Amino acid sequence: MNFGCCKPIVWLGAAVLLPACDGILEGIYDRPVAVDEYGFVSVDRESGSGRIRVDASSYTDWVYIDFHRLTVETSAIDKDDPTAGVPASWDIAVHRYDVKTNGGSALETEYSDFGALQAAGLPAEGYVADEPLTQNRISYDMSHMMDGYLIYAVSDYNAEVSKWLDVDTSEMPPVYTLSHRVYVVRLADGTHVALQLADFMDASGTKGVLTVDYRYPFES
């Protein structure tokens, strides 16, 4: 069964409107660079705090993060089969700046640091589940952009955590704005992880290299 889909791009003279694509043309401005450390690069088991660095720069990969096992695994996307390549155990996954959960739900808090959220207490409600099997969220193939359309992969998508970075493509180069908010994800087993996107690129400016600070398990 073919679930892949395309979404038209509107061309207005020299202007390009790309409302559903984050950073489609950013490869023009990026410079590839090798990064030494990926995965759980900093872990304090006593406090439950840490930092993750993932290479989510590829449009054709999901990066799966498991907070229980402290593992990070990259898997190629099958655009028509959302179950292909999915590891047996994972909690959240990132694709570029998109996020999905493994049967979880999430919310954006009003806080910009973990301490303030800890003092306020764990939110009891307002969590947003993933949108199932979206067909116009996960940009997969940009090769037809000049023909006026993009190809998307079918996938679940969590719109709440994906707010952690706004990509404005109304001008070129795109404007990237971190929310600086702390997000709480209620995992499938009932535990909670608090996340904050600290950076979306590496030192050379390559986009899609994410630095994520976390607290797990996060409890009031």
Domain locations in the chain?
5-215
Pairing of strands 71-76, 61-66: antiparallel
Rounded CA separation 27/170 (Å): 16
pTM: 0.83
Residue 142: predicted pLDDT = 73
Q: Are 168 and 174 in contact (CB under 8 A)?
A: yes
Query: Taking the CB of residue 39, how many other CB atoms lie within 10 A of it?
Result: 15
Residue 169: predicted pLDDT = 80
Q: What is the mean pLDDT of each run of 10 residues along the chain (220 residues)?
A: 48 37 42 63 95 97 98 97 97 98 98 97 97 96 77 97 94 91 98 98 94 95
Residue 8: predicted pLDDT = 45
Rounded CA separation 38/54 (Å): 5
Residue 192: predicted pLDDT = 98
